[in-house]
Structure 1
Amino acid sequence: MTDTTAVQAPRWRSVLDRIAEARRGDSSESLAAVFVLVATVLALLWANSPWGETYDAFWHTHLAISVGDLSIDLDLQHWVNDGLMALFFFVIGLEVKREFAMGELRDRAKAAVPLAAALAGLALPALLFLLLNPTGEQASAWGVVISTDTAFLLGALAVVGPRRAERLRIFLLTLAVADDVGALAIIALVYTDELRVLPLVVAAVGLLVVWQLRRLKVWRGGAYLVVSVVTWVAFYSSGVHATLAGVLIALLLPVYPPRRQEVERAAALTRAFRQSPNPDYARAARLGLERAVSVNERLMRLWQPYAAFIIVPVFALANAGVPLTAQSLAVAATSPLTWGVVLGLVVGKFVGISGATALMARLRPGSIAPGLTATQVGGGAALSGIGFTISLFIVDLALTDPALADQARVGVLAASVIALGLGTLVFRVGARLRPEPFDVSSILLRAVDPRRDHIRGRVDAPLTLVEYGDFECPFCSKATGSTREVRAYFGDDVRYVFRHFPLEDHHPNARTAAEFSEAAAEQGRFWDVHDAFFAHSDALDRESLLRYCADLGLDIDRLEEDLRDGDVTRRVTDDQIDARGSELPGTPTFFLGIRGSRPRRHRGPYDAATLIAELERLRTERRSAAG
């Protein structure tokens, strides 16, 4: 029974709590998008209010910082666009580096489809824009239509997307990262002013120093901060856009999973503090914990919330204030520049991304993640037309005429609204006209694949038994006896497939055990550790897992290296996503099938006698149908 006597927390407190969650690294894309939306509305209201002239007056107020003969004098808008946005692009660079080192972009085969979609989503919008704006200053604004606003995209997906959208979210996030790489490269190559050699040399030296700090395994953020500030100033003075300093520094910073020795050292320091609490041990324990985590991940955890909840909203406040008078709207409505932006973002992104994905699916069957439908891709492609942040950023770089810049901004705002509406329409209509090809809650979402699945028995056996399990689940531990009896009964006629579904909210060691088993699989020992972990399902802390693996004769050094490889983590996550997408109620969950058909979920008891009877029934039905 729910306790209804508790006093509800104020609404503002829940908002602060969600910001705190983002500070801890939790997902809060929809809240971040709300912050940017509110800032955009405030900018428009301010610019179109009776006090509208104060908008330009405020953001064009000059602020100079001088040190000796060196002085940087910018108005507030350019301090935001050149200074604060360097931190925004720094966070993007950290995310890009992490994705290439440990995330979806590490696996080139899996990333091929979103990469192709991203390239098409960059090229086609630019071509459509240039069809309407082939010459003049307007033509230089083709970069406005190339990029997708990741925060708005993921926030909109959370609000208007399908209920089971985790595969789509990963697809769009991978696409958005590749999109960001393309946009940053275009900013560097196309929107760079006249170069000045000496500051550029200083900037290059700064980047070399960052690289050297990485080689020396310097892990304290302060050293990187000092060098980064000097490098930013040098980039600004060189004529290269200063925000690129943030990107290049981020790409040089190291990223890696925690090393065992450093984790153990941090644990020892923490134990020492617990036994003798004093300031020296407290500082040592804190530094030990920080050292165990890569600079990339510590800085991303630190700056990501500030970028999402402060920097981007302030950028929107400084750049989205377009006067929307009857005259300006009439000019925009007939402006090739405005319509070029709308056409590029709305049509170019939608057609380019969905078309490239469909083409890749035809050229490379099986390359689309299971559960990811054409309707979902189409809706996500439509939402990708929300190109807000980087689009407005490039408006400021590409157009010097204020009237043209306002027309482009109107196009960006209009395209974002239209893209949101189009994405919502595609999701809703697609769900009605093209429902999912089968009931994902009843039929195995991802077909058994001998190249990725762990299979016990003949790969081509006529009967299939698939289990989604959790090494720390006591019911799964008992179910191993049932599966053993099933395999003994059918012999070579059944293949047993194990997939991971660690219930991390209930079993704190389950995820770690699953990753250990995948690391053991790299040494061809998955089933050995599978049996050992289930035999000790009540003692699966990290030290115990290492001991079990050592007792089995595994190469522990290699195991540790494989555990630090992103492939192990992604393999477990893939199974988890399949399980959640299938709305599995818990563990163990079994699917039973016969060769030639996709296994169906078994909803009854999972004792050996019941599973054997169900498999016998399937075999009898198949023989009757064949006879």
Structure 2
Amino acid sequence: MARLDLTQRLRTDTGAAVLLLSVTLLALLWANSPLSGAYSALWETPVSLEIGDLAFDMDLHHWVNDGLMVLFFFVVGLEVRQELSVGSLRRRSQRLVPLVAGTAGVVVPALIYLAIAGSTAPEGWGAVVGTDTAFLLGVLALVGPRMSNQLRVFLLTLSVVDDFLAVTIIGVVYSEDVRIGPLLIAAACLGALWLLGRMREWRSTPYVLVVVVLWGATMQAGVHPSIAGMLAGLLVPAALTRRADVVRTKNLYRAYWQSPSASVARDVHLGLSRSISVNHRLHEVLNTPVNVVVVPLFALANAGIDLRGGALGEALASSITWGVVGGLVVGKLVGISLGTWAAVKAGLGTLPDGVGPGSVLGGAALSGIGFTVSLLVIGLAFDDESQVQAATVGVLLALVLASLVAWALFRLARVRWGEETADLPTTLDPPVDPRHDHVQGEPDAPHTIVEYLDYECPFCARATGMWRDLRDELDGRVRYVVRHLPLDDVHPHAHLAAVAAEAAHRQGRFWDMHHHLFAHQSRLEAEDLRGYADELGLDVEQFDADLADESLHARVRDHAESARLSGARGTPTFFLDGVRHQGPHDAATLIAAIEELDAAGRTGR
């Protein structure tokens, strides 16, 4: 149990950041202790791998930087593809602001570095372009607003742009002695990944095998493998889970329940895998090992600089150190803030709901935590040990200073501008009113579940059925309320279907129409709705008149506005006793949440 708790903590943003900071401090202490010779000897250990005529002969330090770190950049590529396909970069209006801000957050730091250290070591400008996402999110959890999920999403989107540009710079600028033959093999591997995606190959094994060959070819070509990892991740397709695939898997489970055997169990396993995109499956498998093993191991191998014998004083007197500090701490803050302001002023998009300008400033300051990408570039850009030391000291100083500046800006935003949170609202607005809301269950039940739904949403159809489980399990302790949130941009028939339910309500048949609409989600045209009214025995002429009644259309729009004020942005969204429920919304989870509330009430908490 203790091991499980530790793993769960390490998977959190704060846990990952604490682990990374702890390993960094360990590397510094080790490199500056009497055992510093062992530290250097460890990373200089030669490790060779020969496959036929191919030979990969590197020391342990390079295996970490050029081998294991490819997994890090591969995960970054997977995340970028997810954001482009199904996430916050899917729509033009959503991606332009972070695109402009992220680009400015790369250009301005590089210019500041060159202004300070360009005459001494211009090749080091790439050390200030990247942001360490793990450190950023961990420090945000420590110094940011009490609730900062929307700001977190905005910063993650920024980091996607930032990482893409940074990895491109590493692959293009810091690659030497390129060999054409292996480069052509690498290009063929990228073509194979694209072809696998076009063929909708759902098994992960072919993608993994091609990526391994791609890494080897890139190494032999003399191109830094970070760009291979990023491009490979970008070519692995991502998609939302389709309801039909979920239903198919459910049927496989039913078959296993009726006849448990090895062959049926295999079918269930394959059905589960097929229902989730290969991108999401690979990301789920690799994300924890990368954050808990690969990145900390990279920090251990690269953060251990020997600062004895006056080396620290030399670093603090170096323009390289202050070029890195200026680029990361000042450049990121100025570049991202100005880029965001310019993009919003130009009408390219808006800030996420709940995120104010003070939170943007604090997040921009946190982006000055370069660390992982910065240390990688330092190892590629500099050959002189004193330059490496100076640049590494700059990265570590920037980590501390960026965190302090962000803390001050978040505090200023809270005190001066009243930005207590950087998230969507979580309280139901307006509260449930039985005179206007559609309620099932005991009127005086101690608990209330409110669902915002869309009649064309396939997941709502299944989630809504959980009410029967709650009613049976909790026996009068909960009531169920429905509110409309038609997602007009993706479900063109949902608004009229909601009006149809309200029209049926005028004849006392809301719940009958409610269930009928979910049972016929693929047929929600006006003529279909009229047919359903006839099947339910409604006065069809009255139903037609009500379907055209502007007051019912306004009622549906009022529900949608209520969803906006309450922080509901998708369907289904649930509120438990007036507070937005976050996480899984299956019946078992909601029952457990209600039982926990009851237990807390009994103990007076």
How many angstroms does 1:153 deviate by? 0.7
Query: How far did residue 15 of structure 1 move?
Result: 1.5
1:547 corresponding residue in structure 2 = 519
1:77 aligns with: 61
Q: Secondary structure at the match of 2:567?
A: helix
Name the CA distance, whole Å, in 2 between partners of 1:57 and 1:402: 16
1:555-570 to 2 correspondence within 5 Å?
A: none
Shift of 1:325: 1.9
| Number of equivalences | 509
Query: 1:479 aligned to 426, 432, 436, which one?
Result: 436
Separation of aligned partners in 1, 2:79 and 2:386: 35
1:140 maps to 2:94: no
1:58 aligns with 2:58: no
1:509 and 2:498 are equivalent in the alignment: no
Is residue 123–residue 146 contact of structure 1 (8 Å, CA) maintained in 2? yes
Secondary structure at 2:436 match in 1? helix
Partner of 1:349: helix, strand, or coil? Answer: helix
* Counterpart in the other structure of 2:341: 358
1:216: how far off?
Answer: 2.4
> Aligned-pair distance for 1:307?
0.8
1:87 to 50, 54, 71: 71
> 2:494 aligned with 1:525, yes or no?
yes
The residue that corresponds to 2:442 in the other structure is none
SS where residue 106 of structure 1 aligns? coil
- Which residue is equivalent to 1:278? 261
Q: SS at 1:406's partner residue? A: helix
Tell me the alpha carbon deviations over residues 332-385 of structure 1, each in whole angstroms, 9 at most, x when there is no partner: 111000010000000101111122223333333972233322211111111111
Change (3 A) 1:55 1:555: farther
How many Å separate the matches in 1 of 2:177 and 2:85? 34
Residues 250 and 577 (structure 1), Cα distance of their counterparts in 2 relative to 1, 3 Å cut = farther
Three-state SS of the structure 2 residue aligned to 1:104 is coil
Residue in 2 aligned with 1:35? 19
- Spell out the pairing of 1:239-250 with structure 2 (5 A cutoff): 239-250=222-233
1:223 positional shift:
1.5
Of 139-148 and 113-122, deviating more is 113-122
2:485 and 2:414 map into 1 onto residues whose CA distance is 39
Contact 1:147–1:183, Cα closer than 8 Å, also in 2: yes
Q: Which amino acid aligns with 1:509?
A: A
Match of 1:566 in 2: none
Cα-to-partner distance string for 1:234-272 (whole Å, 9 max, x where unaligned): 000001112222111111111111234433322221111
Q: What's the CA shift for 1:539?
A: 11
CA contact (8 A) 2:497 2:517 kept: no
Indicate which of 245, 248, 253 corresponds to 2:236: 253
- Whether 2:35 is the aligned partner of 1:16: answer no
Aligned in 2, Cα 1:121/1:17: closer, same or farther, shift over 3 Å?
A: closer
Whole-angstrom distance in 2 between the partners of 1:386 and 1:555: 58
- Deviations along 1:89-142, one digit per CA (max 9) or x if unpaired, are 000000001101111111221222222211111111000000122245x21110
* TM-superposition CA deviations, 1:418-450 (whole Å, max 9, x none): 10111111111332223249x999xx979xxxx
Check 1:521–1:116 CA distance in 2 against 1; reply closer, same or farther (3 A cut). closer
The 1:86–1:335 alpha-carbon spacing in structure 2 relative to 1, beyond 3 Å, is same
Q: Distance in 2 between matches of 1:163 and 1:527?
A: 39
Task: Tell me how far apart the structure 1 counterparts of residues 433 and 522 of structure 2 sit (CA, whole Å).
Answer: 24
Does the 8 A contact of 1:350 with 1:385 survive in 2?
yes
What pairs with 1:259-298 in structure 2 (closer than 5 Å)? 259-298=242-281
For residues 194-593 of structure 1, the aligned pairs below 5 Å read 194-325=177-308, 327-364=310-347, 367-436=350-419, 479-480=436-437, 500=452, 509=463, 517-518=486-487, 522-529=491-498, 532=501, 546-550=518-522, 552-553=524-525, 575=564, 578=567, 586-587=577-578
**Which string of whole-angstrom CA distances, capped at 9 and with x for unpartnered residues, describes residues 599-626 of structure 1?**
xxxxxxxxxxxxxxxxxxxxxxxxxxxx
Classify the secondary structure of the residue corresponding to 2:310.
Answer: helix
Aligned Cα root-mean-square deviation (Å)? 3.7
In 2, Cα distance between equivalents of 1:287 and 1:187: 38
Contact 1:346/1:419 (CA < 8 Å) preserved in 2? Answer: yes
Question: What letter matches 2:521 in structure 1?
Answer: C
Query: Is 1:68 the equivalent of 2:52?
Result: yes
Residue identity opposite 2:8 in structure 1: D
CA deviation profile, 1:133-168 (whole Å, cap 9, x unmatched): 2245x2111000011111111111111101132221
- Is contact 2:453-2:485 (8 Å) kept? no
Look up the SS of the partner of 2:487 in the other structure: helix
- What is the match of residue 187 of structure 1? 170
Deviates more, 1:348-357 or 1:332-341: 348-357
CA distance in 2, matches of 1:15, 1:84: 23
Q: In the alignment, does 2:108 pair up with 1:151?
A: no
For 1:259 and 1:105, how far apart are their aligned partners in 2? 20
Are 1:83 and 1:243, in contact at CA under 8 Å, matched by a contact in 2?
A: no
- CA gap 1:45/1:521 in 2 versus in 1, 3 angstroms: closer
Structure 2 CA distance for partners of 1:579 and 1:551, relative to 1, 3 Å: closer
When residues 281 and 579 of structure 1 are mapped into structure 2, their CA distance, relative to the original with a 3 A threshold, is closer
- Give the superposition deviation at 1:519: 6.2
Residue in 2 that maps onto 1:116:
100
Letter in 1 for 2:325: V
Distance in 2 between residues matched to 1:554 and 1:514, nearest whole Å: 21
- Counterpart in the other structure of 1:485: none
Could you say if the C-alpha distance between residues 352 and 585 of structure 1 is closer, same or farther in structure 2, counting changes exceeding 3 Å? farther
* CA deviation string 1:456-512 (max 9, x = no partner): xxxxxxxxxx98589xxxx57873369xxxxxxxxxxxxxxx99499xxxx982699
CA apart distance, 1:292: 1.1
Q: Provide the TM-score with structure 1 as the length reference.
A: 0.74
Q: 1:319 to 1:356 in 2, by over 3 A?
A: same
Counterpart code for 1:163: R
SS in 1 for 2:364: helix
Encode CA deviations 1:164-183: one digit per residue, 9 max, x unaligned: 32221121111111111111
Residues 1:127 and 2:127 are matched in the alignment: no
Which blocks of at least 5 consecutive residues in structure 1 are unaligned? 1-8, 23-27, 447-465, 483-497, 557-570, 590-627
Query: Could you say if the C-alpha distance between residues 303 and 536 of structure 1 is closer, same or farther in structure 2, counting changes exceeding 3 Å?
Result: farther
Distance, in Å, in 2 between the alignment partners of 1:514 and 1:180 is 40
Contact 1:210 1:224 in 2 (8 A): yes
User: Counterpart of 1:559?
Assistant: none
Structure 2: state its 5+ residue gaps: 440-449, 455-460, 467-481, 529-559, 570-574, 581-605
TM-score by length of 2: 0.76
**Do the aligned partners of residues 577 and 257 (structure 1) sit closer, same or farther apart at CA in structure 2, a change above 3 Å counting?**
farther
Equivalent position of 1:48 in the other structure? 32
1: distance between equivalents of 2:190 and 2:159?
A: 26
